[in-house]
Homo-oligomer: A and B are copies of this chain.
Amino acid sequence: MTRRIALVIEYDGTGYAGFQRQADAPSIQEELENAIQSLTAVRATIRGAGRTDAGVHALGQVAAFDTQSILPVERIAAGLNHYLGEQIAVRAAYDVAPSFDPRRHAKSRVYRYRLLEGRAPFPLRRNVTYRVTRRLDADLMRLAAMDLVGQHDFRAFSGPQPQGRSFTRRMIRADVVRNDDELAVELEANAFLPQQVRRTAGALVDVGLGRMTVSAFRQMMESGAQGAAETVLPARGLTLQEVRYAGFPPESHATTTHDETYEPGSP
C-alpha cells in the first residue's frame, strides 16, 4: 500500500545548486531521492514546499514522497540520515494524508537573512551570514520593513519570472531583529517571488547604511518597476527557517527528537 511521507529537512546549501533537481549540478532533491532509493530500493520523486536558490540554507524545508515501504516513519527518518551526507539531515518524518501537498498546502514561508557588521571577516559564520563593513541603523530598517506588510505587488523586489505570473504576495511579517551581534531580516509571506528575500534584504541594507531613505524605499516598492531593488545579497546569508501549514506537523505520528527506539547501522 502506498503511503505519503512528509519530511522536515535541514541543509547547509553551500556547494549545492539549490533544492530542485538539476541536470548537471548537485541538488538537495537529488541527494534526498538517492537516499530514499538506498533505503527503500525504489526510486521516488520528492516534492518540496519550494525551491531554494543555489547556496541557500534551510532549517525547515518540507518535502513529501510516496513509498510502499512498511518501515515505521521514525525508521525512515533515521534510515535516510544514515545515507545522507553531512550537509543534509531529515529532522523529522511524518505519515501524512495521500493528498498532502507541501507546496500548495503551505500557508506561509519564513525566511531569515543574517547580517553581521564588521571590518574583519567572521570565519565561524562565513557560510551563513553576509557581512557589511559599516554599522546598520536597525531602527530605520525596521521602519522601512513595516511598509512591506500586507498584500502588495512586490515586483520591485522580484527577479525574473515567467510572463503572466502575478507579483502579488501577502507579507505576514517583516522585521529586523538583533540576535546577539547579528542583525536578521525576518520575512514571512504566503509565498515569495524569485530572489524576493535577497533583494528585500539588499534594499533594507541600503536603508540601514543611509544609502536610501525610508521614503525612497517606499517609492521604489510602489514604482511598479520589476527588479527596481537591484541589490541581490549573496545566497549564503539566507535560510528558509520554516514552512507553515494548518494541521502539519500532525499532533500525533511525530518522530520525537529524543526517542531512541532505533539507531541505523552507524555506531
Contacts and interface: CB of A to CB of B under 8 A. Distances in A.
Contacts of A113: none
A10 to B, nearest CB: 5
**Is the contact region of chain A dominated by helix, strand, or loop, or is it mixed?**
loop
A119 B11 contact: no
A86 B117 contact: no
Nearest to A91: B120
A89 interface: yes
A89 B10 contact: no
Contacts of A86: 121, 123, 126
Interface string A107-133: 000000000011111111010100001
Given A133-B260, A134-B260, A77 B120 contact: yes
A57 to B, nearest CB: 6
User: What's the number of copies of this chain in the assembled complex?
Assistant: 2
Contact of A78 (B10, B59, B119): B119
Interface string A188-204: 00000000000000000
B257 A89 contact: no
A87 interface: yes
Contacts of A88: 123
Interface in A166-190: none
Given A57-B124, A89-B120, A133-B258, 18 more contacts: A10-B121, A10-B122, A10-B124, A12-B124, A77-B120, A78-B120, A81-B120, A86-B123, A86-B126, A87-B123, A88-B123, A90-B120, A118-B257, A119-B257, A124-B128, A124-B239, A134-B258, A135-B258
24 contacts: A10-B120, A10-B121, A10-B124, A11-B123, A11-B124, A12-B126, A77-B120, A78-B120, A89-B120, A89-B121, A89-B122, A89-B123, A91-B118, A92-B120, A118-B258, A119-B255, A119-B256, A119-B259, A133-B258, A133-B260, A133-B263, A134-B258, A134-B260, A135-B258
